[in-house]
Amino acid sequence: MRARGLTKRFGSFTAVDGIDFDLYRGEAFGFLGPNGAGKSSTMRMIGCVSPPTQGELTIFGADPVRNGAAIRAKLGVVPQEDTLDVELSVRENLLVYGRYFGLPRAVIRERTEQLLDFVQLSERAGDMVEPLSGGMKRRLTIARSLINDPDILILDEPTTGLDPQARHVVWDRLFRLKQRGVTLILTTHYMDEAEQLCDRLVVMDHATIVAEGAPRELIERYSTPEVLELRFDPALHEQAAEKIKDLFTERTEVTADRILLYSADGDEALTRVLAAGLEPLTQLVRRSTLEDVFLRLTGRRLVD
Amino acid sequence: MAVLSPGADPPVTPRSGGLPVPPNPPGWWRLSVRGFRCWLTTYRRLWRASIYSSVLGPVFYLGAMGYGLGSLVDKHGTASLGGVPYVEFVAPAILAFQAMNAGMSNAAFPVYGAVHWNRIYIAARATQLRATDVFRGHVMFMTMRVAMNSACFIVVMAAFGTIRSAWAVLLLPAAALTGLAFATVVASWAVTLRSVNPMNYAFRFGAVPMMLFSGTFFPVTRLPGWLQPVAYATPLWHGVALCRALSLGGSGLDPGNVAMHVGYLVAMAAVGLWIGGRTYRRRLYV
């Protein structure tokens, strides 16, 4: 898959502003960014249901506008909001979807068993979809998106709205798919999701790509190995921030409730903070994450 | 705004070699049938209930209008009805307007719901189906529903002995065509809506007046002179006149008139199909 100058406008609003990316078989590729960064619009263009306003997009060597149906035959799509038919059973949802791709009943039946087993829903096969939990519905959507044995699986915020346990189950399943060689494209505003699943990712903000690379590579390039997080009494927060900026040469970021100090050695930095007479309420030394990369690149946090 | 290419997909030509290019999809008919069959799957759970409700309504009309009101009408002579008992005059008209109703109601809210509520279209557009296939597949299902309702009602009409002509064997396609004409137009419009209110208005101020004044319960010639051309222009009048001619036979079955009615309804269905192809593409490919 290849995109050059890919642009999507809705009237005067530019949702995606001339982005470039390349995607290779078998990799897990992520679009990381806050809500409204243009991730979902990009996903819809890749899913061949949204013609680009400008620029070039090639999938399997074909044009998604002219050959949408042919390309979609080899895509699996997990949309941001579930589009399951809640009036049908779990199994029937897969049947209906398989039929859309013109698969014979016998093939659908066989794949349904395998896929429901894969997403751990075999016991609910005959149940209606409506009463299933959010996590189960998500897993069913993933199973459904795999019914046509796609070469590329597109996931738009696969775990948004799920509780932590359900998220981990979804991650585990997606990781297994990756192991099996399915190409994954996903959007997320969770940095932990991106770090867990993506071989390579782009960071999007305000309709453009601000950085590209492997998660560790991005962290190395845009952040320090460690971060010291300090929390002060809210009354002293600003004062402390000023003082730290004066005293330290390292990059600092001041968020609403914390001061982040980017340093190669967090413990050593903490010693200097304490030596300077500052008295944080809490302190935490941690490794840099993609959140820090995003903060560095955009000056804002991913999720607020 | 650009929309995805209409009609058949051109052959896939690889631009950057190496990757396997998916084969071309099958033709629009097979893709549309896939969409149709998915509606059938959903309908399997509901069809019994839907038959009761969609058959009982027209039967009540036939009883109340045909026999109740008819007993009064018949006492005053039915020369202006063509000399047939009122029930025979009104039964094919009820068939036509129930076909309109079935066509409209299977198009309006289900289409809106397929975009906004159960999101069946949104799920289907991510597959091999194109917007036009989604549309045509759903229209096939709507037509099937109209035909089912109409078939039941025609059986009731025959059982009550309200059919005079052997041409009545063509009542089913005539009713289905009437329903199809309304279904395509309403579906192509409903898919564009952002709220349900316009559909309620369409039923209240479109379907209901048409049902009352399109020569259904009394001949159009009884309307004030200036209203008559309006009644003759409504699609329902053409459906009613066609069904009535087929059911009663005789002098009403003029080939020229029949061709005009059929032509009107076919043209309306064709326009609906054409517009729907466009509105569906606009709505589903944003």
With cut-offs at 50, 70 and 90, classify the pLDDT of residue B214: very high
Lowest-confidence pick of A10-14, A244-248, B175-179, B211-215: A244-248
- Determine the Cα–Cα distance for residues B100 and B93; give it in Å rounded to an integer: 11
Tell me the nearest-neighbour CA distance from B15 into chain A, angstroms: 5
Which residue of chain A comes nearest to B24, CA vs CA?
A70
User: How much is the pLDDT for B48?
Assistant: 83
Q: CA B221 to CA B111: how far, in whole Å?
A: 37
Query: What is the strand order of the sheet A75-78 is part of?
Result: A75-78, A152-156, A183-188, A28-32, A200-205, A208-213
What the block records as the tokens of A255 is: 């968020």
Res A109 pLDDT > 90: yes
Residue B55 pLDDT = 77
Distance between CA atoms of residues B78 and B83, nearest Å: 5
CA distance A292 to chain B (A): 34
pLDDT of amino acid B1: 35
Whether A44 sits inside 8 A of B42 (CB atoms) is no
pLDDT digits (tens, 9 = 90+) for B1-51: 333 334 444 444 444 444 455 677 888 999 999 999 999 998 988 888 887
Whether the pLDDT of residue B277 is over 80: the answer is yes
Residue in this structure with the two tokens 């809506």, named with its chain if needed: B193
Please state, in angstroms and rounded to a whole number, the distance separating the CA atoms of residues A64 and A52: 9
The distance of B283 to chain A (nearest Cα, Å) reads 10
pLDDT of B152 reads 92
Which domains are assigned to chain A? 2-213 (3.40.50.300), 224-287 (3.30.70)
8-state DSSP, B22: P
A254 touches chain B (CB under 8 A): no
- Percentage of residues in chain B with pLDDT exceeding 90? 75
Residue of chain A whose Cα is closest to the Cα of B117: A83
List, for residues A4-29, the tens digit of each pLDDT value. 999 999 999 999 999 999 999 999 99
Tell me what the pLDDT averaged over chain B comes to.
89
Residue A87 tokens read as 């009036």
Q: How do residues B75-92 score in pLDDT, each as one tens digit?
A: 988 888 888 999 999 999
CA distance A1 to A46: 9
Domain residue limits, chain B: 28-284
Report pLDDT for B22. 67
Residue B147, pLDDT score: 97
Q: In the predicted model, what is the mean pLDDT of chain A?
A: 93
Which structure tokens are listed for B130?
């194109």
The reported pLDDT for the residue numbered A34 is: 87
What CA–CA distance (Å, rounded) separates B283 from B286? 6
Q: Do B45 and A87 touch (CB under 8 A)?
A: yes
Residue A192 confidence class, pLDDT cut points 50, 70, 90: confident
Helix (H) or strand (E) holding B233: helix B228-233
DSSP letters, A279-300, are: --SEEEEEE--HHHHHHHHHSS
pLDDT in tens, A275-289: 988 999 999 999 999
Place of tokens 């084969």: B23
Residues of A in contact with B286 (CB under 8 A): 10, 44, 49-50
Interface list for chain B against chain A, based on CB atoms closer than 8 Å:
2-5, 9-10, 12-26, 30-31, 34-35, 37-38, 41-42, 45, 118-120, 122-130, 284-286
Which residue is closest to B17 within chain A, CA to CA?
A61
Asked if A69's CB is within 8 angstroms of B9's CB, the reply is yes
Q: Provide, rounded to the nearest whole percent, the portion of chain A with pLDDT above 90.
A: 82
B253 CB burial (10 A radius; 0-12, 13-18, 19+): middle
